[in-house]
Structure 1
Amino acid sequence: MSGTLLHRAVIGFARLIYDPYLRRKYKYDFEKVDYSKGNFIALANHTTNLDSMILGISFKQHMYFVAGEQLFRMGFVSTLLRVFLNPIKRMKAKTEAKTAVNMLKALKAGHNICMFPEGSCTWNGETSNIIQSTAKLIKRAKVALITYRVEGGYPTMPRWGRTTRVGKMTGRKANIYEPEQLEQMSIEEIYSAICDDLYVNYKNMSDKYEYIGKAPAEYLETALFICPKCKGISTYTSKDDMFSCTCGVRLKYDSHCNLVDIDNNDFPFTTVLEWDNWQRQWIIDNLPSLKQDNDKIITSDEEQDLFTYTENETTSHILSGSMALYPDRLIFKDKKTKNELVIKLEDITDIAIITRTTLTFSCSDMHYEIKCKTPRSALKYLLFCINLSPMRYIV
């Protein structure tokens, strides 16, 4: 039987609370999966910070979740998570073979595992790139694969948003692949099947349902950071349902997740998805000009807190002050001491984002984390960095 008695009891109790809560609060309508032929790996698209709860109530059988290592650096809370849930740790800014080994050990012991193979929540409502090593893991595991698709999560709780909205969410089993079927499939075929099964475009839900909430545009600047009109970087601010640039553009974020140009100034985009795709391509197209002067700042922010952390879950504060991105380096400057820390982009091996604004990266075995109290875009730093210098990343 899957899971220890304690872990199953905790999840069972949590389901009694979260099942009615998610149904009523977020209008979550779901298909419950009951797979009793053996243990399995469940894969789902990643749309909200509540996805573990959503998947937990959507399966009858107990599952262990793969979780980011930041959850293991929360002191007493982390101790409770280990004791009562025992998630499998994954270093988010570093691709870890250790995670795969621990997953395979859990499967060999007869447990079920659930993971989100994008590695991070979507920023724009479309399923992000699936981590390719997921298919290799599935092939090695020799257990059933269950794919599960959640829709309406992004319009309800966009990763960039300060608030949640109420509309409609659905959860449906996409496919069940038995071990015998997976044995006959190549790694490429498994990967293609996962990508097809988990693909979601939020417009399928937002066009049909309204998503009502307070201040729906607030913190949108953490996702959209280049203005299509003036090409300014981090020139937008948000307030209530308005998103405005210093160049004069004023947009309203409506209940169908559309961007409405209230002044009719021929703004080129009506969705976050269109805009985000454009800004990612803009960075690629403008790399030659961005790289022309290594002493010219591309973007910078004040009031940043820099930490280092280790794989044994200890965190140390390094400095508080400014962060500036140049074509070949990041420079952190302490506000009080004026001391500087220079990180060459070529030394960064892995980079990722935790939740909305926390940027984390690794230089070999040294791990860094940058936090802030204001809605600064971590996404802009990640997208610029991965195009300026080769590094592994999870958006």
Structure 2
Amino acid sequence: MSSKKQRSKEMTTKTNNETPEALSHIKRAHGIYFTSKVLLGWIIKLYFNFRSKVYRPKNKSFILISNHTTMFDPFFEALSFKPYLRFVTSDHLLRMGAWGKFIKFCVNPIPKRRGADSEKTMEMMAESVRNGVSVCIHAEGYCSINGETGFVSPRTGQLVKDSGAGLITFRTVGGYFKDPRWAKHSRRGRMRGSVVREYMPEELQRMSVDEINEAIRRDIYINAYEQQKKDPHKYKGRALAEDLETILYLCPKCHAMGKTHSHDNEFSCECGYKMHINEYGFFEGDSLVFDNVLDWDKWQKSYVKDNLALWHSFTEKPITSDEKQILNCIEENETKELFSDNCTISIYDDRLEFVDESKGKKVFMLSDIVKMSMGGETKLYFTTSNGFYYEVGSHTRRSSVKYFALYRVLTGREYL
């Protein structure tokens, strides 16, 4: 028997063995899912000012792929589809004590570990679809940082093709301005969601993996600022600029890193450059370099990539650092082993260092970090070559994006 057939047989056997338990969890989640939609659906739509037409898919089981703008997107997608959907979610939510256990019990999500290999997640998704349970994923991996749909992994198209199921693409509009990933407070304003297209299994089998990936990227793409210019809507709230330094870490005037600060509606750099955000999500002020977050973020990405030689000169002095950090090692059973809850993180040309005055220093060579990702406003996750998985939190407002960007560039990885 060929190795390919052997793997297929093993996977089928595994699926069949796990089906009774899986169906038990899904049956419970089914009941909670539909009861919640009936009791809470209208409240969610009213509170978030969300509107969409309920879609009845032609496919019995399918993979739903949507853009990702807010942490509440699963609620909106559930309310937009008639059948039960099983969601892929970041595993850090399941580590949130009682709340994490509640989510796991009620929703039965498929966990995805940030900054780590996603093979197990892909297998669980494929198994779910084979058992007739539709799955929803946000192909970008995390909420949009700057208002534009992010990178979609090429593996997504392969997953869709291999599943043998249908594909539905869905797009939400307004979510980025209503609840920006970086913002301390959400805003009041409208959100809309709609199905872009449903692809039948036969059609997908005729398409190449590249064609499927291109269709997904095209269907879920949105530039929130271009959309806002074409069809402007106000998003009112308090402290509209608060925590923006978690995303915009590089000043376009003085080029200093980690010197930007927010207060109420104002955003500024220590060099004196300042502006404020209006209710349409745009910057206002004198001598603006950029009038929106997206253009600013694109510039800082280019700046980091274009100055690789400069970053490599930081062998003894850190490129950037932040105090009052929390470093945890996440065990296989999802428990945390604390290294420090008050250390300083520093990144150099070849390493990432954590220094605790009472516990000493922990050094990770960048070449030994195999994957890195971000979560929430300030969380940073990474996996080392020896299989250890780490989570970095912060007691202060600091950017995880700058560490992620420098890691990608310094290790020769693509940074889009």
* In 1, Cα distance between equivalents of 2:170 and 2:354: 42
Alignment of 1:152-301 (within 5 A): 152-207=174-229, 208-261=232-285, 265-301=286-322
Instruction: Select which of 358, 361, 378 maps to 1:340.
Output: 361
The Cα of 1:251 is off from its aligned counterpart by 0.5
The Cα of 1:167 is off from its aligned counterpart by 1.4
Q: Match of 2:294, as an amino acid?
A: L
Alignment of 1:47-196 (within 5 A): 47-196=69-218
Aligned to 2:355, the other structure's residue is in SS state strand
Q: Match of 1:218, as an amino acid?
A: E
Deviations 1:268-319 (A, max 9, x none): 1000000000000000111111112311210000000100002321211101
Instruction: Select which of 333, 339, 362 maps to 2:383.
Output: 362
* In 2, Cα distance between equivalents of 1:63 and 1:112: 5
2:60 matched to 1:38? Answer: yes
Distance 1:77 1:392, change over 3 A: farther
8 Å contact kept, 2:197–2:219: yes
Q: Match of 1:335, as an amino acid?
A: E
Of structures 1 and 2, the one with the larger relative CO (CA 8 A, separation 6+) is 1
The Cα of 1:5 is off from its aligned counterpart by 3.2
* In 1, Cα distance between equivalents of 2:59 and 2:401: 42
The Cα of 1:23 is off from its aligned counterpart by 2.4
Q: Match of 1:345, as an amino acid?
A: L
Aligned to 2:187, the other structure's residue is in SS state coil
8 Å contact kept, 1:349–1:363: yes
Paired position in structure 1 for 2:7: none
Paired position in structure 1 for 2:337: 316
Alignment TM-score, normalising by the size of structure 1: 0.95
* In 2, Cα distance between equivalents of 1:290 and 1:243: 26
* In 2, Cα distance between equivalents of 1:3 and 1:171: 29
8 Å contact kept, 1:296–1:327: no
Unmatched tracts of structure 2, length 5 or more: 1-22
Paired position in structure 1 for 2:20: none
- Name whichever of 364-373 and 204-213 sits farther off: 204-213
Aligned to 2:303, the other structure's residue is in SS state helix
The Cα of 1:184 is off from its aligned counterpart by 0.5
Paired position in structure 1 for 2:371: 350
Unmatched tracts of structure 1, length 5 or more: none
Q: Match of 2:320, as an amino acid?
A: T
Task: Give the number of the structure whose residues are more often helix, by fraction.
Answer: 2
The Cα of 1:83 is off from its aligned counterpart by 2.2
Aligned to 1:137, the other structure's residue is in SS state helix
8 Å contact kept, 1:155–1:257: yes
The Cα of 1:66 is off from its aligned counterpart by 0.7
The Cα of 1:85 is off from its aligned counterpart by 1.3
Paired position in structure 1 for 2:324: 303
Distance 1:329 1:352, change over 3 A: same
- Name whichever of 26-35 and 67-76 sits farther off: 67-76
The Cα of 1:253 is off from its aligned counterpart by 0.5
Q: Match of 1:260, as an amino acid?
A: E
Q: Match of 2:307, as an amino acid?
A: N
Q: How many residues align?
A: 390
Aligned to 2:381, the other structure's residue is in SS state strand
Deviations 1:94-129 (A, max 9, x none): 132111111111111111100101011110000001
* In 2, Cα distance between equivalents of 1:221 and 1:79: 32
* In 2, Cα distance between equivalents of 1:325 and 1:350: 16
8 Å contact kept, 1:222–1:378: yes
* In 2, Cα distance between equivalents of 1:269 and 1:255: 17
* In 2, Cα distance between equivalents of 1:53 and 1:305: 31
8 Å contact kept, 2:326–2:395: no
The Cα of 1:335 is off from its aligned counterpart by 3.4
Q: Match of 1:310, as an amino acid?
A: E
* In 2, Cα distance between equivalents of 1:340 and 1:238: 31
